[in-house]
């Protein structure tokens, strides 16, 4: 019996993890008679301790959804996507890629991966791009999510692991500065730690332009002007220095570069910072004192400050704060980034980034290239160098010297990329596009060939959560007849392109090779085995063969920099690339809502999540009134890149100068048709979080111009 002929087999209850966010809640999944699954929270998994959000509870619905793809599709003579067999689909992709490379050169083919792919897929996708396609052009949607915090972590600490401590440390912090994170909606089970922290008398300071449901829980809310995060951080540091609340001994012994930062912070006195950020100076002073006087203090950032064209500078400014207070490396203290996507951590470690080799090695490191080339059985000279970052890769599709043939796996850039209309046009201009997905996503609709892939409960693999804890995803059901796992797809593509060896279709074999590939690297997985993951409820990297229990806490004695010290960075702040003006008078900011996830390919198909609400734009009642709108109007928002329509929700929780829209919906409700593609100069992160907008038209209402 071939795997594609198998029925959906049922086993007993299986311990696995949620398919969505980086909290990776432990699930108990039991197959049901109808071919789907029943889901409960795993009370023995220490991270979520049984708690789930509505997305986790309903994750089974996509497994049996009527729109599920169950056979490969390819464009026929009429230009319509029609079913074909797997052999033909693979042959069509191989021919499309070969033709593009024959006409335009090897670099004319690219790969676009995703931050929800398992570690094994990430590893083999990077190897496939570099060894089979021999192209430098592979990047992924995690560039839109994690890259600014990752780049700042590497610069500040010498290593990027989202949380360098267990998430349970949150409960033990006396004060927390939470910047640009609406965790009550994006990962609700994490609130058990924040709740415990506040029950114990801890202070929670939330920085956000909106009074979000997370800010509602805070002891203090700093409602800053979008794009002024770094200025606020400089202001907080100014007060800490002025009031002698910094740790001079720690700075002297464990860091370098502070004096330049001290001098820079001197010009960010509270009155000036109030003028620039809109945060009252008394709140700036109070927040700094709360942090500086706390026995234990944490600084946490998320996409708010990170998804900006100065995202790296923003994060470095908050790292400066944590270092100046002498917090980093002590339990219940320090700096951490709350990773977003399901495998946002592992997805950035194992080679699908344009500049990276497995284990968080750099592609321009000669020793790493040699090591990896040896493992892959090629010459180091044949290993391509760094390629284009995600947006730059997409922006050059179909152009002269751009990529002409693209493979997309686990991503939906038509909805998730900034300046989305432009990116849709670039994708449509390709000579050849192949997409692997479970549904005919907005990106798959443009493809020449679509390959139906298995979902989370139908495959094995490993994921790495926001703490750097490596977990096992386990198969509960066999995929439906006609569907293959992504590992089987990579294996089939490699064969069709003449590389029959080196691309194992089993997750176990792929993980074994990944362990070898990361031995001795910064993100060392070599000592992590499936049995240890089971026994220890996940293993924290780095974990070499001798490291029992992995490394839950980093930076206790030294930083992984050449001299063992963390580095302060003096950063200049220039604000958002596009600020409101007479033509576009509002700040526009984007984010997630509780019942949807990322581009919505899965969650927009789950009945209970669809019923939870439509795409709504939030606007202050006074701003709405001035523009002639009332709550519930259908409004159209315009920016210099496009327009999109939303149901208006008026709320005093948002600044009067700011509009918020969620980014989960496509087509005329696509927030990313509005967002700015200005990139951070270091991380190449687009500025999703700030641009200038106007409210253009409304049924029965005036416009804001």
**Measured on CA atoms in the order 161, 167, 172, 176, is the torsion positive or negative?**
positive
Looking at the Cβ atoms of 27 and 444, the one nearer to ligand SF4 is: 27
Count of positions on this chain that bind ligand SF4 (CB under 6 A): 14
> Which x/- pattern, by CB under 6 A, does the window 178-207 give for ligand SF4?
---------xxx------------------
> Which x/- pattern, by CB under 6 A, does the window 317-346 give for ligand SF4?
------------------------------
Measured between alpha carbons, how far is 226 from 128 in angstroms, rounded to an integer? 40
Looking at the Cβ atoms of 133 and 187, the one nearer to ligand SF4 is: 187
**Interface with ligand SF4, residue 21, by CB under 6 A:** yes
Looking at the Cβ atoms of 16 and 633, the one nearer to ligand SF4 is: 16
Closest CA to 162 of 309, 22, 351, 56: 22
Whole-angstrom Cα Rg for the chain: 24
Query: For ligand SF4, which residue of 25, 117, 159, 299 counts as binding (CB under 6 A)?
Result: 25
**Nearest 10 degrees: Cα torsion 616, 619, 623, 625:** 40
Residue whose token pair is 């050449």: 562
Query: For ligand SF4, which residue of 37, 39, 56, 328 counts as binding (CB under 6 A)?
Result: 56
Looking at the Cβ atoms of 40 and 547, the one nearer to ligand SF4 is: 40
Both tokens of 409, joined, read: 């796996």
Looking at the Cβ atoms of 23 and 250, the one nearer to ligand SF4 is: 23
Task: Tell me how far, at minimum, the Cβ of 466 lies from ligand SF4, in Å.
Answer: 10
**Interface with ligand SF4, residue 55, by CB under 6 A:** yes
**Do residues 51 and 187 make contact, with C-beta atoms less than 8 angstroms apart?**
no
Task: Tell me how far, at minimum, the Cβ of 432 lies from ligand SF4, in Å.
Answer: 34
Measured between alpha carbons, how far is 55 from 596 in angstroms, rounded to an integer? 7
Measured between alpha carbons, how far is 683 from 389 in angstroms, rounded to an integer? 9
Which range of residues in 32-40, 48-56, 240-248, 453-461 is near ligand SF4 by CB under 6 A?
Answer: 48-56
Which range of residues in 52-60, 88-96, 157-165, 675-683 is near ligand SF4 by CB under 6 A?
Answer: 52-60
Instruction: Please tell me whether the peptide bond between 542 and the residue prior to it is cis, using omega within 30 degrees of 0.
Output: yes
DSSP 8-state class, residue 266:
T
Q: Per residue, what are the HEC states of 603-653?
A: HHHCHHHHHCCCCEEEECHHHHHHHCCCCCCEEEEECCCCEEEEEEEECCC
**Nearest 10 degrees: Cα torsion 504, 508, 514, 518:** -160
**Interface with ligand SF4, residue 39, by CB under 6 A:** no
Query: For ligand SF4, which residue of 16, 23, 135, 137 counts as binding (CB under 6 A)?
Result: 23
Q: Nearest residue to ligand SF4, using CB?
A: 56
Measured between alpha carbons, how far is 411 from 428 in angstroms, rounded to an integer? 16
Can you state the percent helix, strand and coil of the chain, rounding each to 5?
35, 20, 45
Measured between alpha carbons, how far is 426 from 412 in angstroms, rounded to an integer? 14
**Interface with ligand SF4, residue 52, by CB under 6 A:** yes
> 253-291 burial, b if ≥16 CB within 10 A, otherwise e?
ebbebbeebbebbeebbbeebbebbbbebebbbbbbbbb
Looking at the Cβ atoms of 25 and 231, the one nearer to ligand SF4 is: 25
Task: Tell me how far, at minimum, the Cβ of 598 lies from ligand SF4, in Å.
Answer: 10
Task: Tell me how far, at minimum, the Cβ of 612 lies from ligand SF4, in Å.
Answer: 13
Looking at the Cβ atoms of 195 and 634, the one nearer to ligand SF4 is: 195
Looking at the Cβ atoms of 108 and 183, the one nearer to ligand SF4 is: 183
Q: At what angle do helices 86-104 and 486-496 cross, to 10 degrees?
A: 60
Task: Tell me how far, at minimum, the Cβ of 523 lies from ligand SF4, in Å.
Answer: 21
Task: Tell me how far, at minimum, the Cβ of 286 lies from ligand SF4, in Å.
Answer: 31
Query: For ligand SF4, which residue of 28, 29, 39, 53 counts as binding (CB under 6 A)?
Result: 53
> Which x/- pattern, by CB under 6 A, does the window 132-171 give for ligand SF4?
----------------------------------------
Which residues make up the interface to ligand SF4 (CB under 6 A)? 18, 20-21, 23-25, 48, 52-53, 55-56, 187-189
């Amino acid at each position: 019996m071939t795997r594609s002929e198998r029925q959906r087999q049922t086993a007993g209850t299986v311990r696995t993890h949620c398919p969505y966010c980086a909290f990776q809640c432990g699930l108990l999944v039991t197959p049901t008679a109808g071919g789907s699954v029943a889901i409960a929270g795993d009370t023995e998994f220490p991270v979520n301790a049984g708690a789930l959000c509505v997305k986790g509870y309903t994750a089974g619905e996509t497994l049996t959804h009527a729109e599920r793809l169950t056979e490969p599709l390819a464009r026929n003579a009429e230009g319509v996507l029609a079913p074909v067999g797997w052999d033909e689909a693979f042959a069509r992709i191989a021919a499309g890629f070969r033709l593009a490379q024959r006409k335009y050169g090897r670099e004319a083919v690219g790969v676009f991966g995703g931050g929800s792919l398992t570690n094994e897929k990430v590893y083999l996708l990077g190897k496939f791009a570099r060894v089979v396609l021999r192209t430098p052009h592979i990047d992924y949607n995690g560039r839109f999510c994690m890259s600014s915090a990752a780049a700042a972590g590497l610069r500040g600490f010498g290593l990027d692991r989202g949380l360098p401590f267990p998430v349970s440390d949150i409960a033990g912090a006396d004060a927390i500065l939470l910047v640009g994170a609406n965790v009550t909606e994006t990962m609700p089970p994490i609130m058990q730690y924040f709740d415990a922290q506040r029950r114990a008398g801890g202070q929670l300071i939330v920085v956000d332009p909106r009074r979000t449901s997370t800010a509602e829980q805070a002891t203090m809310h700093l409602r800053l002007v979008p794009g002024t995060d770094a200025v606020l951080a400089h202001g907080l540091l100014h007060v800490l220095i002025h009031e002698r609340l910094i740790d001079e001994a720690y700075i002297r012994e464990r860091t370098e570069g502070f004096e330049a930062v001290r001098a820079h912070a001197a010009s960010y006195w509270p009155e000036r910072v109030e003028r620039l950020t809109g945060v009252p100076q008394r709140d700036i002073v109070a927040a700094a004192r709360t942090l500086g006087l706390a026995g234990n203090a944490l600084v946490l950032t998320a996409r708010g400050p990170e998804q900006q064209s100065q995202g790296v500078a923003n994060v470095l400014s908050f790292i400066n704060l944590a270092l100046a207070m002498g917090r980093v490396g002590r339990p219940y203290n320090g700096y951490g980034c709350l990773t977003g996507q399901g495998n946002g951590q592992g997805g950035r470690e194992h080679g699908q980034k344009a500049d990276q080799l497995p284990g968080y090695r750099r592609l321009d490191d000669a020793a790493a290239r040699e090591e990896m080339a040896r493992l892959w059985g090629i010459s180091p000279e044949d290993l391509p160098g760094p390629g284009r970052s995600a947006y730059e890769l997409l922006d050059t599709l179909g152009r002269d010297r751009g990529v002409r043939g693209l493979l997309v796996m686990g991503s939906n850039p038509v909805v998730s990329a900034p300046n989305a209309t432009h990116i849709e046009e670039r994708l449509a201009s390709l000579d050849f596009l192949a997409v692997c997905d479970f549904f005919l996503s907005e990106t798959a609709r443009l493809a020449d060939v679509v390959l139906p892939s298995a979902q989370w409960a139908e495959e094995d693999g490993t994921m790495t959560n926001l703490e750097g804890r490596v977990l096992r995803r386990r198969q509960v059901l066999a995929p439906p007849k006609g569907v293959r796992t992504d590992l089987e797809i990579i294996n089939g593509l490699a064969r069709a392109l003449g590389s029959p060896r080196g691309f194992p279709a089993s997750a176990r074999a792929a993980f074994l090779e990944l362990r070898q590939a990361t031995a001795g690297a910064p993100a060392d997985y070599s000592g992590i085995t499936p049995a240890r993951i089971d026994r220890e409820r996940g293993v924290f990297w780095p974990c070499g063969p001798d490291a029992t229990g992995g490394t839950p806490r980093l930076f206790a004695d030294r930083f992984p920099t050449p001299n063992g010290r963390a580095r302060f960075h003096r950063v200049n702040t220039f604000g958002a690339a596009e600020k409101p003006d007479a033509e576009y008078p509002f700040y526009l900011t984007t984010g997630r809502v509780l019942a949807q996830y990322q581009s919505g390919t899965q969650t927009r198909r789950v009945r209970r999540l669809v019923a939870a609400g439509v795409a709504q734009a939030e606007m202050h009642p006074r701003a709405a009134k001035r523009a002639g709108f009332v709550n519930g109007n259908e409004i159209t928002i315009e920016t210099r890149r496009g327009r999109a329509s939303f149901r208006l929700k008026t709320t005093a929780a948002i600044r009067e100068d700011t509009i918020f829209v969620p980014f989960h919906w496509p087509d005329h409700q696509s927030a990313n048709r509005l967002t700015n593609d200005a990139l951070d100069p270091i991380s190449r992160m687009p500025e999703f979080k700030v641009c200038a907008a106007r409210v253009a038209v409304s049924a029965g209402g005036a416009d804001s111009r």
